[in-house]
Structure 1
Amino acid sequence: MARAATKISVVDQTGPSERILQILTESARLFATNGYDGTSMRDIAAACGISKSLLYHHFADKDEIFARIALGSTRELCEFVTARIPEDAAPAARIRAFMIGTAEYFHRYRWAWLASTSSFWSDPEARRQKERMMWRDRYEGLLRTLLMEAIEAGEMRPVDVSHAGRLILSSLNWMHRWYKPEKGLTAVQIAETYFDMIFNGLKAEPPAP
């Protein structure tokens, strides 16, 4: 994957500079690989090829960097997926777009996904945790809405929407445990496979008489 494709476009209303993007991208990789406690400002500066003083010019401390990655990733996942759902498509196609959009985000920003996932329930900052939960709820609520629309349109049989949503989200959210970009299917292809399995089932058609 090209280096540019992995940069984290975290939330920043003024538009993050190339240096900020580099710091956040390298920090996400280090946090995901070594954990928060196992990553120092010296490590981040070395990974970016810059001095610690320049790093401190952009960020007050390691916690500020981590907050930008964790909160930015949760918010941008929701916005990234929402933007890829066609408004005029059938409900089932919109669910497929939700799943593929999630996989595409995971593929593009894998290190940020991993760093954010590993820290989701351990963030000591209550306000930050509350905001992340709000964006997570919006993201999951979008899927439940799409599922209800599919049921109402007769594209799905009546099922428990909460359970169906957890099934879909679990299939996508656990990819980071075993997915290897250099082997097998891409993340988007895996999401398409999951969609087919979920909507068309695993049971084989009975043989023709």
Structure 2
Amino acid sequence: MARSEIKAAAGEAIEPADRMLQILTHSARLFATKGFDGTSMRDIAEACGISKSLLYHHFTDKDEIYARIALGSTQRLCEFVQDRLPEGASPPDRVRAFMTATGDYFQRYRSNWIASTAAFWSDPEQRRRKERMMWRDRYEGLIRQLIQDAIDAGDFRPVDVPLTGRLVLSSLNWMHRWYKPEKGMTPAQIADAYFDLIFNGLKAR
């Protein structure tokens, strides 16, 4: 339960920052399950247990909420993955850590992932779009650098680094279209299996 929800349950006043977090959290869940068009400001207000006027006090419209979720999710993903790269590990292990950390992030923040994926290219506000692209490029640049490090160390054969990076990210980014939490492996385990398939191949040893 989020800090804001705990305060609300206890009858305590919710601080503006907590209220913003509450709104963004509930909005992400609604956008992920009902889609942008299927979610109204009334739906968001009811999910948060607040009035529409209070909701409009914090956000101009639904588009602003959607854009904030997309930007925040992209930034947090990059920081989350970078923080989980093991220092001193071999280059291939750092590539594996990048992939499994991405799977772990997806599992923890699935609603934000799904909402932000759908919203990535739709924000009409240029400044927010440029900032989101900056974080996306930083995340993609990270996996490319890790792959290049593994090549330089002689662990991977020389390959087209941008192409390989796109293969890695494509395998991870589309997980939300088919993944079912109640079936089989966790997202981190799936990412680990992808690592083995991509970098060790299908050919029998």
TM category (shorter chain) comes to 0.7 to 0.9
Matches of 1:22 and 1:65, distance apart in 2: 12
Q: How many angstroms does 1:22 deviate by?
A: 2.3
1:137-152 alignment, distance < 5 Å:
137-152=137-152
RMSD: 1.9
The range that moved more, 157-166 or 50-59, is: 50-59
Conserved 8 A contact 2:67-2:119: no
Counterpart residue identity of residue 69, structure 1: I
Q: How many angstroms does 1:68 deviate by?
A: 1.5
Matches of 2:134 and 2:180, distance apart in 1: 30
Matches of 1:57 and 1:121, distance apart in 2: 26
Identify if the C-alpha distance between structure 1 residues 57 and 122 changes in structure 2 by more than 3 Å, giving closer, same or farther: closer
Conserved 8 A contact 2:84-2:98: yes
Residues 112-155 of structure 1: CA deviation (Å, up to 9, x unaligned) = 11111111122222221111111100000010000000001011
Matches of 1:196 and 1:16, distance apart in 2: 46
TM-score after normalising by structure 2: 0.88
- Per the alignment, residue 79 of structure 1 pairs with 79
1:45 aligns with 2:45: yes
Structure 1: which 5+ residue stretches go unaligned? Answer: 8-14
- Per the alignment, residue 88 of structure 1 pairs with 88
Identify if the C-alpha distance between structure 1 residues 141 and 156 changes in structure 2 by more than 3 Å, giving closer, same or farther: same
TM-score after normalising by structure 1: 0.86
- Per the alignment, residue 168 of structure 1 pairs with 168
1:154 aligns with 2:137: no
Q: How many angstroms does 1:16 deviate by?
A: 7.5
- Per the alignment, residue 19 of structure 2 pairs with 19
Q: Secondary structure at the match of 2:149?
A: helix
Counterpart residue identity of residue 104, structure 2: E
Conserved 8 A contact 2:31-2:39: yes
Q: How many angstroms does 1:52 deviate by?
A: 1.9
Counterpart residue identity of residue 173, structure 1: N
Matches of 2:41 and 2:164, distance apart in 1: 42
Residues 140-186 of structure 1: CA deviation (Å, up to 9, x unaligned) = 00100000000010110111111111111111001011001121111
Matches of 2:89 and 2:147, distance apart in 1: 14
Residues 35-71 of structure 1: CA deviation (Å, up to 9, x unaligned) = 2232211000112222223323333332222222011
1:1-209 alignment, distance < 5 Å:
3=1, 17-205=17-205
The range that moved more, 58-67 or 174-183, is: 58-67
Identity %: 73
Aligned residues: 194
Q: How many angstroms does 1:194 deviate by?
A: 0.7
Matches of 1:123 and 1:51, distance apart in 2: 26
Matches of 1:124 and 1:57, distance apart in 2: 21
Q: Secondary structure at the match of 2:36?
A: coil
